[in-house]
Amino acid sequence: MKEVILIKNGELALKGLNRRTFEDVMIKNMRRRLSDLGAVTFTPAQSTIKIEGEDGFDLDEAVERISRVFGIAGFSRALKLDKDFDLVLEQTGSYLEQQLLEAKTFKVAAKRSDKKFPFDSPKICLELGGKLLEQFPHLEVDVHNPELTVMVEVRDRDIFVHANQLKGAGGMPVGTAGKAALMVSGGIDSPVAGWMMAKRGVELTAIHFASPPYTSERAEQKVLDLLKKVARYAGRIELTIVEFTEIQEAIRDKCPEDLFTIIMRRLMVLCAQRIASRSGCGALITGESLGQVASQTMGAIACTDAVADVPVFRPLIGMDKDEIISISRKIDTFDISILPFEDCCTVFTPRHPRTRPKLHDVEAAEAALNVGELVERAIENVRKVVIN
């Protein structure tokens, strides 16, 4: 008995002439994700991609990983059979035994793309339905709203039998929408923001600002752990760690306290976009949500964006904390995010930050710093870690 995975493309099916390009990227992503499970082949045909492993291939693990690959609308584990209808009658019952036992109502659906196959679709449904009813007398047929749909697909070379398609991660294949740099602190929001952009096909790199000794090694480990979770969806992520202490101390010493956060964020963006462009990124991503904290008001965002010369994506901008948390639970980053280690954003936070900063005030205050030199020094002194 040979089991395979059948992948149904999502939005990709809507693409026109460049559909193959999207599909190729998705296959490359899946191949990379499954590479350590052994030899595996990917065969695209008719808006479906068949994944077949060698003997001993861990299909359960593969299914688990495939469920986190963007670009897939749905997928099924299917029984692969030679083109002999007797085999279908013989093996379907035992292959789907557990699901058939749990269901009360079912139907059989058939898709015959090989029109030369001697049985047509209605005949397949009738014959197999009758056989299954015989084997599982508790079942009833319900063609409109069945609990279980047994699908028989007659293709050019094989017949596939499967039931109830699993939901894929949706979105677009990572890498088809370009590359962007996620600014990640270690809180709840930034991993979610990264996940959302990856879902739209963006390949991620990440930038983290560390402020030793104000922040600890544990805070850095936390960021690595968070990105590992995001990488399960987004694939390989390169993290750049920027030492930010000197800049923060300079701002603390030379600028008004109530503008500390906003000036810090401007310098973060200045550093980040330099690093981003070096690694070929076309945008920055942050986890900001409008009004969540003082630096995320409309005025503050305007001041931050004034220094940005690439687009800054903020996928969480219109989301409530609850909504963000529910995604972070789904992608399993929440429990890591709430570990209580000081991060760069909480060092020296002013007691009363300005919520409606004026750009000219901020620029005037910032003039006390040698911004160019500070940024230059910070981005020369970075460490890189690759997360797979």
Where on the chain is the footprint of other proteins (CB under 8 A)?
Answer: 212-217, 249, 252-253, 339-342, 347
* Least CB distance to other proteins at residue 253 (A): 5
- Which of 63/224 has CB closer to other proteins? 224
Q: Give yes or no for a contact between 108 and 125, defined as CB atoms under 8 angstroms apart.
A: yes
375: helix, strand or coil: helix
CB 190 within 8 A of CB 284: no
Q: Rounded CA gap, 351 and 303, in Å?
A: 20
The smaller minimum CB distance to other proteins, of residues 119 and 341, is found at 341
* Residue 45 vs 339, nearer CB to other proteins: 339
CA dist 2 and 293 (Å) reads 55
Strand, helix or coil at 143? coil
Output 67 or 216, the one with its CB closest to other proteins: 216
The three-class DSSP label of residue 287 is coil
- Smallest gap, in angstroms, from Cβ of residue 302 to other proteins? 29
| Residue 46 buriedness (CB in 10 A; 0-12 / 13-18 / 19+) | exposed
Closer residue to other proteins (CB): 248 or 328: 248
Q: For residues 276 and 286, is the Cβ–Cβ distance under 8 A? A: no
User: From CA 187, how far away is CA 226, in angstroms rounded?
Assistant: 9
Minimal distance, residue 246 CB to other proteins, in Å: 12
**CB-wise, 23 or 343, nearer to other proteins?**
343
234 touches 203 (CB < 8 A): yes
Amino acid 251 reads I
Residue 350 sits at the vertex; the CA angle it makes with 346 and 354, to the nearest 5 degrees, is 115
Minimal distance in Å, beta carbon 74 to other proteins?
42
Query: Please, which residue, 115 or 351, has the CB nearer to other proteins?
Result: 351
Shortest separation between residue 342's beta carbon and other proteins, angstroms: 5
Compute the least distance from the CB of residue 260 to other proteins, in Å. 12
Q: Closest separation between CB of residue 340 and other proteins, Å?
A: 3
